[in-house]
């Protein structure tokens, strides 16, 4: 007990020391944020824009042109766009306009019934294949490699009538909470340019929050959809496994190597809750998830987690995130008349280790091989020396990650122990949630932090990654702003294929907190 107390105190002072040092480093730099878009078309949901198309009050080319203008305005500051697709977007928008002009009112209604995202601009992260565009996952050597086909998720968005605007920036090989690489540089938060928008779908999060698109597509193996949503005041949905086809995503072994295939899911990031279901797209998703069923809110059971129990390597939630959770719980109580039950799981103290064990893929390529893009393996020590001099094409954190994996591999015995704890924890969670349970917890330990901070607090990834390891649907829901003016959020968790409960709960919270800007 005494030993654990000492570890807790050391961790307490460590997290505060790291935060204080980054505050001092950034204190001389003035806080700057991106201005709110003045064009009202840029501030509307896909559902509202669809209504304007149906009323013939809006043209596709006008809308696409407005979003391109907004991207050109904000991207020099936030650096969220990796590859622009503007010429193709305008070509498709003009084709859409010609089709709209040729239809009578009945034909128009039929078109939007069959293609519900017709004319809606969207973006996707730099790991999802878009025909004719390079997808780098942050590796400079891939800059000239263009995709020969669309990923199924992109194809489905286009079939629904959506118009692809741009590919957005990611961390190198996606495995970081900082969106920075040597192919496209660093992405900055639109709320405070000194801060990170999160990762790995950080470019998506920053661009959507800045009003550069209506909705976006990300991928989530440890929270890569939800963290950027949490840090940018957006909705991010990790749907149940098996709903979204994983093809066309890089690196491919994230989708098919051992446990990773169970952790990995692609999902939507949106500014408005009502756009999440259309962005998930196909009718099959609606059927499997029973999204059209009415949810009886009074029948739901709510639970909440305040922290990760005895875990010393995971930072406890700060005051703003704790307050955010409490406000969400009060909103549910006021609306439904039910109090949420506080719970704790003993095995959550090992959450970070469980995440690492789940991400490990002994049968797959090493991180150093991934960095070499399948052409051998990066020679780490010489490359690290070059990285220290700023001469490597790889980021130093990625090289150090590869070195740690090579030098300190997890033993088979330790991995087996952690995976056993994972399955025990999953069983307890599913028994608790059943078919009508929703779990709430803080979105993260804190709001968006200064660039570089997350490299020194890596175990905090467990806030989002543990739910990937447990293979359950999770939704990030914005809850307002911290005293510093940064977005806060909660996460909602349900049993597999009970995603509709997450959406219904988020609707209550959205009604309470109001639309985020």
The whole-number pLDDT of residue 312 equals 85
* CA–CA distance, 271 with 209 (Å, rounded to integer): 7
R_g over Cα of the chain: 22
Name the residues annotated as catalytic.
125, 200, 224
Selection from 204, 202, 213 nearest residue 164 by Cα? 213
**Strongest mean pLDDT among 355-369, 402-416, 478-492:** 478-492
Going by pLDDT thresholds of 50, 70 and 90, the confidence category of residue 502 is: very high
The domains of the chain, with CATH numbers, are: 50-362+409-513 (3.90.1300.10), 363-408 (no CATH)
- pLDDT by residue (tens digit) across 166-201? 999 999 999 889 999 999 999 999 999 999 999 999
More confident residue, 513 or 320: 320
The whole-number pLDDT of residue 451 equals 97
The whole-number pLDDT of residue 401 equals 86
Q: What is the mean pLDDT of residues 219-243?
A: 96
Q: What is the mean pLDDT of residues 100-122?
A: 96
Going by pLDDT thresholds of 50, 70 and 90, the confidence category of residue 517 is: very low
200 assigned binding-site residue: yes
Going by pLDDT thresholds of 50, 70 and 90, the confidence category of residue 479 is: very high
221 assigned binding-site residue: yes
216 assigned binding-site residue: no
Going by pLDDT thresholds of 50, 70 and 90, the confidence category of residue 142 is: very high
Going by pLDDT thresholds of 50, 70 and 90, the confidence category of residue 253 is: low
Going by pLDDT thresholds of 50, 70 and 90, the confidence category of residue 360 is: confident
* CA–CA distance, 1 with 4 (Å, rounded to integer): 5
Q: Say which residue the tokens 């405070």 belong to.
A: 192
Residue 403 CB-half CA count within 13 A: 15
pTM to 2 decimal places: 0.96
- pLDDT by residue (tens digit) across 417-440? 999 999 999 999 999 999 999 999
Q: How many residues does the chain have?
A: 517
Q: What is the mean pLDDT of residues 332-336?
A: 93
The whole-number pLDDT of residue 1 equals 56
Q: How many CB atoms lie within 10 A of CB 306?
A: 17
Selection from 257, 267, 239, 238 nearest residue 124 by Cα? 267
The whole-number pLDDT of residue 516 equals 47
Selection from 280, 253, 278 nearest residue 266 by Cα? 280
The whole-number pLDDT of residue 8 equals 82
Residue 16 has pLDDT above 70, yes or no: yes
More confident residue, 38 or 5: 38
Hey, is 163 helix, strand or coil?
Answer: strand
222 assigned binding-site residue: yes
User: Angle between the 319-336 and 499-513 helix axes, to the nearest 10 degrees?
Assistant: 100
The whole-number pLDDT of residue 448 equals 98
174 assigned binding-site residue: yes
The whole-number pLDDT of residue 407 equals 85
**Strongest mean pLDDT among 222-231, 262-271, 331-340, 506-515:** 222-231
Q: What is the mean pLDDT of residues 364-390?
A: 86
Q: CA torsion sign, 6 to 7 to 10 to 11?
A: negative
- pLDDT by residue (tens digit) across 58-87? 999 999 999 999 999 999 999 999 999 999
Q: Which residues sit opposite 304 in a β-bridge?
A: 342, 440
The whole-number pLDDT of residue 489 equals 98
**Strongest mean pLDDT among 3-7, 355-359, 361-365, 478-482:** 478-482
Query: Mean pLDDT for the chain?
Result: 93
CA angle 504, 507, 508 (to 5 degrees): 95
Percent of the chain with pLDDT over 90: 79
- pLDDT by residue (tens digit) across 442-460? 999 999 999 999 999 999 9
- pLDDT by residue (tens digit) across 120-141? 999 999 999 999 999 999 999 9
Q: What is the mean pLDDT of residues 482-487?
A: 96
Q: CA torsion sign, 55 to 57 to 62 to 66?
A: negative
């Amino acid at each position: 007990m005494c030993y654990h107390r000492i570890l807790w105190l050391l961790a307490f002072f460590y997290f505060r020391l790291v935060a204080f040092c980054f505050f001092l480093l950034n204190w001389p730099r003035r806080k700057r944020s991106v201005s709110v878009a003045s064009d009202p078309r840029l501030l509307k949901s896909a559902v509202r824009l669809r209504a304007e198309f149906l009323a013939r009050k809006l043209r596709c080319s006008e809308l696409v042109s407005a979003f391109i203008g907004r991207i050109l305005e904000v991207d020099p500051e936030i650096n969220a766009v990796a590859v622009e697709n503007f010429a193709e977007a305008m070509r498709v928008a003009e084709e859409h306009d010609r089709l709209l002009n040729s239809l009578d009112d009945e034909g128009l209604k039929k078109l939007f019934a069959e293609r519900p995202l017709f004319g809606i601009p969207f973006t996707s992260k730099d790991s999802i294949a878009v025909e004719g565009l390079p997808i780098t996952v942050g590796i400079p050597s891939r800059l000239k490699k263009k995709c020969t086909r669309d990923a199924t998720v992109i194809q489905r968005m286009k079939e629904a009538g959506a118009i692809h605007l741009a590919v957005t920036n990611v961390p190198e090989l996606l495995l970081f909470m900082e969106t920075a690489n040597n192919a496209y540089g660093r992405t900055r938060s639109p709320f405070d340019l000194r801060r990170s928008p999160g990762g790995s779908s950080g470019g998506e999060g920053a661009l959507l929050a800045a009003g550069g698109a209506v909705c976006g597509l990300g991928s989530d193996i440890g929270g890569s959809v939800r963290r950027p949503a949490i840090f940018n005041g957006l909705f991010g949905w990790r749907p149940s496994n098996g709903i979204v086809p994983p093809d066309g995503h890089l690196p491919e072994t994230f989708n098919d190597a051992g446990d990773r295939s169970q952790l990995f899911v692609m999902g939507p990031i949106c500014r408005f809750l009502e756009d999440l279901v259309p962005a998930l797209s196909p009718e099959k998703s609606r059927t499997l998830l029973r999204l059209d069923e009415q949810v009886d809110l009074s029948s739901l059971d709510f639970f909440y987690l305040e922290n990760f129990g005895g875990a010393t390597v995971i930072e406890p939630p700060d005051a703003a995130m704790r307050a955010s959770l409490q406000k969400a719980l009060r909103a549910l109580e006021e609306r439904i008349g039910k109090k949420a039950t506080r719970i704790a799981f003993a095995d959550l103290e090992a959450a970070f280790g469980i995440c690492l064990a789940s991400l490990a893929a002994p049968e797959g390529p090493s991180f150093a091989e991934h960095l070499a893009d399948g052409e051998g393996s990066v020679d780490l020590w010489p490359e690290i020396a070059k990285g220290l001099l700023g001469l490597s094409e790889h980021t130093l954190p990625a090289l150090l990650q590869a070195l740690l994996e090579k030098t300190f591999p997890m033993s088979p015995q330790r991995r087996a122990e952690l995976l056993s704890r994972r399955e025990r924890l999953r069983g307890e969670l599913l028994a608790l949630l059943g078919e009508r349970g929703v779990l709430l917890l803080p979105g993260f330990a804190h709001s968006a932090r200064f660039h570089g901070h997350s490299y020194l607090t890596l175990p905090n990834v467990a806030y989002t990654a543990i739910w990937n390891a447990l293979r359950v649907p999770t939704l990030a829901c914005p809850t307002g702003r911290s005293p510093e003016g940064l977005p806060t959020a909660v996460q909602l968790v349900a049993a597999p294929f009970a995603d509709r409960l997450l959406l219904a709960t988020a609707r209550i919270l959205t009604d309470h907190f109001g639309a985020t800007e």
